[in-house]
Structure 1
Amino acid sequence: MKRVIVSVTNDLVTDQRVYKICNTLLKMNYNLLLIGRKLPNSKEINRPYKVHRFNLLFNKGFLFYAEYNLRLFFKLFFLKKDILLSNDLDTLLPNFIISKVFRKKLVYDSHELFTEVPELIDKPFVRNFWLKIEKFIVPEIKNCTTVSNSIANYYNTKYNTDFKLIRNFPYKTTTQKTDNFPFETSNKKIILYQGAINKGRGLELMIETMQFINNTIFIIIGKGDLELKLKEKITNLNVSEKVKFISEITPKKLKKLTPLASLGISLEEDLGLNYRFALPNKLFDYINAKIPVLVSDLPEMKQIILTYNVGEIINSREPKQLVNQIEKLLKKETSYFEKKLEIAKNELIWENEENKLIEIFENLN
């Protein structure tokens, strides 16, 4: 039985893409080892394959990446391996070196345009460091996958590579409204955001817009760097009864809460190519829960709306204009989007998308 070692820099708990990919590889009878890291508040995980999480001295910044990559290199060096699966640029260097030293197959899965994330745009030295790694390694990799057509086209044009598209669809599920939010929501419409609370996610815009919407609650599920700043904004704008936070929860719990919403949002700003080319997981989670969506006027998200008619594309990023579009959306009957959501829900699922991954692993170069 061939052994695949999968590596990622997060704590594995909420990374649904890695979770689904590992399940597919397990179904293909590979012996799996998943490597990540453990944070002080990381939840325990139970998987039907081996998992190793590093306890690191540093958990952010340059020292974190240096420590993680060094420890990953030595871990990979001494382990039995047949195939290496590197997730994102921040795990690629040790995987690439080990693949060359031991002549093993390497698969690279790029979850985003790492060198174009907003956090690096204003850090030219750090960004150039990662760009050098990208330019040195990516053109040499034969087995590459990514999450959107735009990202695949970007890499293939820039580096003459052959990135294949494997979108991050959820598993097919039965929509069930089997849970409740931990605060009163009766007789009110719910607008939902789920995901990282980071720069450029449109959350400030939505909080400002909530000043002008009545009988509606905006719920943010997740955690991130901007959480404290957003809570201050909520207090200053006096919308604490209209905007509620739920800290990061398990994917299982989240699937029970999402269908309770009336509208899901994905209002990323155009802060560089990573956001411009994004195809967020939450968009498909909303569709899977059969709730309509409001998305940014960015190519990948826009195409989903134009193809499946499961929501609308934002007309304006000015709060007093945005509120009009949201109120009209919320007034539409459920049946307006129901049939379209049902079609999209049955098409945009991992059970359909995983066949591309299976084909790649059955024909590794």
Structure 2
Amino acid sequence: MPETPQLPTVAGRPARVVSLVYNDASADSRVQKTAATLRAAGADARIVAISRESAGHAPGPGTVGAGVPVYRVHDLDLTRLLPGLTRGWRRWRGRNPDGTTPVSSVPEPATGAAPSTASAPPAVGGEAAPPAVHPAQAVAVDLWMRLYQTTRLGYWWLGAVRAARDVAPDVVHANDANSLVPALLTTAGTPGRVVYDSHELWRRRNTRQDRWLAPAVDALVEALGTRLAAGVITVSPSIVDWLQRRYRLADPPTLVRNIPTARQVPPREGGRLRAMAGLGEDDKVVSYTGSITTGRGLEETVDALALLGDDVHLVLLGYGAPQYVTRLLVRARQAGVADRMHLVGAVPSELVPQTLADADVAVVYVRPICLSYRFSLPNKLFESIHAGLPIVAADLPDTAEVVRRYGVGEVFDARSPAELAEAIRAVLADPGEYRRAAGAASASLTWEGEAERMLGLYARVLGARADR
């Protein structure tokens, strides 16, 4: 494998890069890979994230991934700071004081009903809010959650700026628009520059449609950030085009897709998915990997499973909010396939291809309920290709283009469970060619190939300050 190109030094030292991300960075493979690549290219790269003590990610310094330094800023977590208030708040909203929701409060969807795509706002401590029982209560909960989440973000911004300024970075890598404000504040009045990495189409992501202030602020921040940034990166060709047109950028954003690092396709017999689900070699395994949540076509996939033979099983590798998982299990029971849907938990991102290897086909399904989803290019597509699996993918522009170009599977109408079932049936009937195509495609679809473009952008950004 060729050596990683080296970035210019600044004033005789490695370039200092701070990557800002509004999560704990423990499971964000893109953020980890970006920082690791910059370090391999000679930069002093580190991550500034947010703490999540309930998951074991305390405030202060640490490492993630392959030893990448991370500093986690204190989170404004009222569950920890004001436990008595939190317990009272939960009782008032119909929860148990420990934060769990009584099973009786989780509604069962009506048979044949279309799945809801609305996401409940997170509650104190990050829980999802159950349905309110009174209109006044619903308004109070909504106003409180908006205020709390806005204050929580602002609190992280302040901590992130302090942590980043201590490093005196040459470049601040802003992961998504919610980190643009602290990135711009960190570099204000300094020679430092900002690189904006848009992991999705931020202004058209899946959010509540009854809001007006937050989208207006998002639009203002991203418009200002893209114009002030020294470089813009994003994850799919469609988002590249949208950002360039919307903000009238002289140069298109740099395309850096979120693809796993180069590796050999694991042997099928080395996979773990069947063992995790308790399935045998005679079973047909349809895999799903990623967040178990709304907008991922899981309801339609359950409906499609009911149209397939009794030997076909759906195995979900990932995690989701308990309320959503409960509703999905209810739907599976109503469809008569509860015994053929298996939730096996999550594994670290670097182990996903190895784990998936003994599946028969991977479903890559994002419902186009917002423009960001329509333009997405999911990690699970590339993880499944790296596992050597045939793909059954929703007919969305960027996803379908990859599937068709490399011949790794079939594309189906994203609105039709019947078409999904037919595509799965077609692949299961003759998977060999698709498996061979996936193995060949994995050799050229690598993070190292994507990172070359990112490092080229960084070389240009650092060029003005580089040693001559």
Q: Is the Cα–Cα contact under 8 Å of residues 120 and 127 in structure 1 kept in the other structure?
A: no
Which moves more between the two structures, 285-294 or 74-83? 74-83
Mapping 1:138-217, distance limit 5 Å: 138-161=226-249, 162=251, 163-176=253-266, 177-180=269-272, 181-186=275-280, 187-213=282-308, 214-217=310-313
- Whether 1:342 and 2:439 are equivalent positions in the alignment is yes
Query: Do the aligned partners of 2:18 and 2:48 also contact (CA within 8 Å) in 1?
Result: yes
- Cross-structure match for 1:364: 461
Contact 1:31–1:49, Cα closer than 8 Å, also in 2: no
2:304 & 2:373 partners in 1: Cα distance?
A: 22
Distance in 2 separating the partners of 1:320 and 1:108? 40
Moved more, 56-65 or 17-26: 56-65
Aligned to 1:14: 27
Q: 1:109 to 1:282 in 2, by over 3 A?
A: same
More displaced, 144-153 or 238-247?
238-247
Structure-2 residue corresponding to 1:83: 171
After superposition, give the CA deviation of every residue in 1:187-246 in whole Å (9 maximum; x if it has no partner): 111111111223211011001221222201111122234333223322333322111112
Residue aligned with 1:227, SS: helix
- In structure 2, the residue matched to 1:298 is 396
Equivalent pair of 2:287/2:361 in contact (CA under 8 Å): yes
The answer to whether the 8 Å contact 1:86/1:95 transfers is yes
Paired AA for residue 162 in structure 2: F
TM-score by length of 1: 0.93
For 1:115 and 1:316, how far apart are their aligned partners in 2?
22
Q: Report Cα offsets for 1:18-44 as digits up to 9, x if no partner.
A: 121112111111112211123212468
Cα distance between partner residues in 2 of 1:314 and 1:87:
32
- Cα offset for 1:282? 0.8
What is the CA–CA distance in structure 1 between the aligned matches of 2:420 and 2:257, rounded to whole Å?
29
Report the equivalent of 1:223.
319
2:199 aligned residue: 111
- Superposed displacement of residue 175, structure 1: 2.3
CA displacement at 1:122 relative to structure 2: 4.3
> Structure 1 residues 242, 22: CA separation in 2 closer, same or farther (over 3 Å shift)?
same
Q: Secondary structure at the match of 1:11?
A: coil
SS at match of 2:339: coil
CA drift at 1:92: 0.8
1:145-174 deviation digits (Å, cap 9, x = unpaired): 111111111111111223111111211112
Paired residue secondary structure (2:55): coil
Aligned pairs (5 A) from 1:20-169: 20-39=33-52, 40-42=54-56, 45=64, 47-58=66-77, 60=126, 61-161=149-249, 162=251, 163-169=253-259
Structure number, greater radius of gyration = 2
Cα distance in 1 between the residues matched to 2:414 and 2:158: 46
Cα distance change on mapping 1:198 and 1:62 into 2, 3 Å: farther
- Unaligned runs of 5+ residues in structure 1 are none
The worse-fitting range, judged by mean Cα deviation, of 36-45 and 133-142 is 36-45
Does the C-alpha gap of structure 1 residues 121 and 265 become closer, same or farther in structure 2, counting only changes over 3 Å?
farther
Q: Which blocks of at least 5 consecutive residues in structure 2 are unaligned?
A: 1-13, 58-62, 78-124, 127-148, 463-468
The structure-2 alpha-carbon separation of the partners of 1:197 and 1:241, relative to structure 1 and needing over 3 Å to count, comes to same
Letter of the structure 1 residue corresponding to residue 39 of structure 2: L
Root-mean-square deviation (CA), in Å? Answer: 2.0
